[in-house]
Amino acid sequence: MLELWKERLRRHQLDQFKYLRLIFNDTFVIAFMVLLGALGFWYSNVLDTIHSELWFGKIVIALILFIAVQTGHIASLMEDPDSTFLLVREKEFYQYFRSAQNYSRYLPIFFIVVVTFLISPFAFKAANISILNLVLLGVSAAAYKMLLLDVELLGLYKKNKVWGIDSKLFANIAYLIVLLISVYTLLMIAPLVTVVVWFAVATRTKKLIESGQLQWQKAIADENQRMFRVKRFYNLFTDVPGVSSKIKRRKWLDFLFSGIKNEHKNTYFYLFARGVVRNNEYMGLFLRLTIIQAILLCLIDNFYISLIVEMLFIYLVGFQLKPCFKEVMQNLMQRLYPVSGKSKIADFTKISNILLLIQWFVSIFAVLYKFGFSINSLIIIVAGLLVIGFVNYFYMPRQLKKYLN
């Protein structure tokens, strides 16, 4: 079984590296670095405003650690045919799941370490928690994450209830209570309790796997669902085979199309407008980036960083709209419409213009909120408008021509 796990892990990692290489392209890295810099600058400004312990500081630390431990699930790498071909080897799965658990721990524990490191200045100033005590809380979070993975594994063996309550929900409530008690009394309580409970659950998990009955369909369904969520994330940045975004009717938005006249020249304009509104991927991307941009502009009071955020986010939304045009052009049936390529590009540019101008309009309020009616606000607003012109009338038409043939 160990050889089977190694072989599957090798295939899985090759698959992941293929997508990660496409995601971490130059554009994404630049956007990520700017976003990280903006958040770091905002965090630094917030810390400067804290001069004494806050009454809610310890609650914030407990909640951040609690949220951090919820990331990541057990990667069992189970496949659909397993229930048929591996059923006879059910009791040999201990080594397989042990390796799966070890692999599933790396990323969540690394994430917990990073979060613990990032909240350390806030914990010291706002919650009066020393570095040593924060390390103890971090250890408790890491131990609890390993405990959660054991609880997930027990769920695959039909042991998912504690006193009639879902075991994961029960564990989360208990951990949150222990965490809050620890930060207000003795910080040693959280690591001690979580480590002891984790060892007890791990011992029970081993016995159960060696003698219990695996819920094959649940294990396979959980793994398929986990991989689908991962690929949906990848699909935001690159095409992933087998993953398609959901299309919704959204009848309540029909009024948006009432202004489009039923004429031949509006054929593709109507098609693109309907496509963007119905597609969860593009609508979600537009809304998320617009909201994040507005929040960042409201928080950052540095002119140069605000200028970069304004220009970068407008460019990113325009850049990410390109696949929508490509998807329509790949549909062979649309070629039956007697519409020229130039007209198709012009219609898509109209849609892109409308979306980017809405985003720009929303950002104006955030800029005015932070900088007021000043020359800095004017420069940022005009810069956003220039990026819209660059994207829609210089960059986009050249890129879209590639998809016409």
Q: How many domains does the chain have?
A: 2
- Rounded Cα–Cα distance for residues 135 and 287 (Å): 37
Same domain membership, residue 218 and residue 335:
no
**24 pLDDT band (50/70/90 cuts)?**
confident
Q: Indicate if the pLDDT at residue 253 is higher than 80.
A: no
Same domain membership, residue 163 and residue 301:
no
Question: Domain span at residue 317?
Answer: 251-403
Contact residues for 211 (Cβ-Cβ < 8 A; gap 6+) = 91
- Rounded Cα–Cα distance for residues 234 and 240 (Å): 7
Q: 220-244 burial, b if ≥16 CB within 10 A, otherwise e?
A: bebbeebbeebebebbebeebeeee
> Domain boundary at 186, 205, 235, which?
235
Same domain membership, residue 221 and residue 122:
yes
The more confident residue out of 236 and 391 is: 391
Same domain membership, residue 303 and residue 227:
no
| Residue 241 lies inside a defined structural domain of this protein | no
Mean pLDDT of 299-320: 83
Same domain membership, residue 89 and residue 223:
yes
Which pLDDT value is given to residue 227? 86
Which pLDDT value is given to residue 359? 93
Residues 394, 318: contact at Cβ < 8 Å?
no
Contact residues for 175 (Cβ-Cβ < 8 A; gap 6+) = 66, 69, 144, 194
β-strands 161-162, 165-166: how paired? antiparallel
pLDDT tens readout for residues 212-224: 678 888 888 888 8
Using the structure block, give the residue that is written with the tokens 């405003």. Answer: 49
Hey, is 165 helix, strand or coil? strand
Same domain membership, residue 197 and residue 60:
yes
DSSP 60: H
Same domain membership, residue 195 and residue 344:
no
| Residue 121 lies inside a defined structural domain of this protein | yes
Same domain membership, residue 80 and residue 229:
yes
* Burial of residue 34 (number of CB atoms within 10 Å: 0-12, 13-18, 19+): middle
| Residue 60 lies inside a defined structural domain of this protein | yes
The one-letter amino acid code at 298 reads C
Hey, is 161 helix, strand or coil? strand
Share of the chain above pLDDT 90, in %: 17
The more confident residue out of 332 and 121 is: 121
Same domain membership, residue 287 and residue 212:
no
pLDDT tens readout for residues 268-291: 888 888 888 887 778 877 888 888
| Residue 115 lies inside a defined structural domain of this protein | yes
| Residue 48 lies inside a defined structural domain of this protein | yes
Q: Indicate if the pLDDT at residue 332 is higher than 80.
A: no
Q: Indicate if the pLDDT at residue 28 is higher than 70.
A: no
Same domain membership, residue 280 and residue 201:
no
CA-based end-to-end distance of the chain = 50
| Residue 246 lies inside a defined structural domain of this protein | no
Predicted structure pTM score: 0.70
| Residue 273 lies inside a defined structural domain of this protein | yes
Mean pLDDT, the chain, whole residue set? 84
| Residue 243 lies inside a defined structural domain of this protein | no
Strand partners, 162: 165
Same domain membership, residue 212 and residue 109:
yes
